[in-house]
Chain A
Amino acid sequence: MTPLVYVLEEQVRDLLSQTGDIRLVDGVAYGFDDWTVFHAYTGKPVSTPSGHICPCVAIRSDAAGFVDEESLMVQVRRRLDPDGLPIVVLIAGTGVGGSPSCRALILTDEGVAGADTRYVPRRSELFSRNTGLLETSALAEKKVVIVGLGSGGSPVALELARAGVGKFTLIDFDRLELGNISRHVCGVNDLGRYKTLAVRDQVLQKNPFAEVSTMEANVNQSLNQVEDVVAASDLLIVASDNDQSRFNLNQMSLNNNKVALYGRAITRAAGGDVLRVRPWKGPCYNCVFSSGLIDGREEELSQKRQALAVLPAYVEEDKINAMIQVGLSSDIAPIANMLTKMALVELSRGIETGMSTVDEDLVSDFYVWANRREEAYANWPRMGFKWTHPSILRWYAARVDRDPDCLVCGGHLEAEPAT
């Protein structure tokens, strides 16, 4: 087959906008599948690339659109020692009507072969399939803060990027370890990396135009910095794994009048729940926690660090190891999906979108999901063919009211902060 070369339209435009002498520009390319497909960059790749690295050079044609290919190839060979690898040569020019064009040649020991080029399109084309269902142009300006980029938070980040949400702040101080990989959107290529940075790269894979900032910080130890980020956001999504951080984030959401969504899995991911906090209008995280609907003890403990943080200091190591309970990724997925839907509803508020009827349905602030008839759901009837009984694998809305005695959002406070 004719080799296929993908190039970033923006980088070609950049190359063409250069003035002065025409000269070779060093880039980099990544080849796949026996060097039949290449991703070529004239500058820095926007996100972490994959594939097998090989040399790439780019040049713009002169004003007349002319390039002397033969002397170009001599020039390239003199410049690079490919060490048996192919060299991708990009020739950028201006096509009819002033639009940029780019040709690619693959230079090997055997000679020069022409390749087909494809642009990685600009924003307008990337999410065209969603047009109508979601106002992607509006969501591109929406900014979400996601705290906790583990098995719960990372798929939410990715789904929101797929839906066209354009601005993210990712907060987590954890690194990807072997034990995380099976439940995480990132794979072995990201072992040892901060989850924030690895997920950022995944987000950019879905939406290269997203603005992603990260904080490798413990919320409980960086209260002011995190609150600044929350204050500048449209929505706070909390998928962190300890109550202290959720209490702190709850306070920030109330202080800054920002809607917050809290999702979690309970013991061995037998189920989970999602809470929406509309500050001062509905129950806050503490109202719900104190009602007993959310119980810190039932929290799924998936990592030793997490267990060490919540268990008394004198609990023995064996006991801690026994308490680390790991659910399956497919058990976490429904909770991440509900978080995503609720996030899209919140972000779409005030915008004409296909999410408005979903908004009408989601009148409750608290939703419960069961994966298996175990733990808290052990006494639930079997699903069978009944629609009228509680059953696994369905969402249930629960009525939770604001607690007038809540020491966080209750009546002891003189006044609610103005927005």
Chain B
Amino acid sequence: MQTHGLAELYRQMGRARAFELAVERLWRRGLISGEMHLGTGEEAVAAGVVTQLRAGDGLALTHRCSPALVVRGVPLVPMLREMLGQSDGLCGGRAGHMHLSSREHLVACSGIVGASLPRAAGFALAAKRLREGAVGVAFAGDGAMNQGMALETLNLAVAWSLPLLVVCIDNGWAITTRAGSVTAGELGARAEAFGWTVARADGLEVEEVQRAASELLARCRKGKGPALLHVTCPRIDGHFLGDPLLEQSRHLTGSAAKQTLGRVMSAAVSSGGGGALQRAASMVKMVGTMAKARRETGRGDRKDPLRVAHQAVKRAGGAVDVIDAEVEAEIASAVERALAGIEVRDA
């Protein structure tokens, strides 16, 4: 199996991050509509796994899809043009950022949580019959693993012995819910119980992710059945841009947080309803969730995977600054080309 050196992995992570930051700027300017879920924090997963794919492998992604698409080599300008709603965008401006797809790359995203598993199982089935040695790969969140069709796929993929790799990106969250608080058992153990091969990796360590992905993919390609890679990583920019949970928990004295608090307090003291203990328990839980959101890794923090990789490359004597500059130039040029001919109504 081909492996990529740390510097190349870092470059891919940097591309994914720079792309997301560019998307954020466009979103803030009102040029991108809808729920914009950034994949900041997932770069090591995207780079570690997607660099291990070959032509002919099918990739099914989620609402948080751009890092994997960038690493897969989907052209950046059409992708940005799509997000900007242009008719020469990747999908003719019809799909938007949650439903990006490229037939040429055999990659498709869906905003239906859990749908990537059966879709990738289908890619795997087609690979088995049409492209020997190729695989289907699904990215899925930790929350998605509780979706009915996801659980059904755990069974189906074994029954049909599919060359399927599911990469569970465990960021701890499903919007405002701690995914673990509504999940029974451990996700890897769940898959193991169905007969899957399971590996776990730390999403802060891109080489670890790459190693694990490469081993699991090799098994899948040899027809040894489905595999799950469970990777933990931070959710740096909240559920989506403008996430009120993140906003309010980072600005506890802001007007939005105060308004929420006012509503909650007046309801909590209304007559009729739960007992005092129950009400107190609710308040404690809500405050706990906000505290978690507040403590979440931010950009450039010690636990930002990009920073971790940056330091690792530096330690190894790699040319971090050159890579950073090249990446920045690539993305800036893509954005400039993507904006060509678009009337910008900035104030």
A and B: bona fide binding partners: no
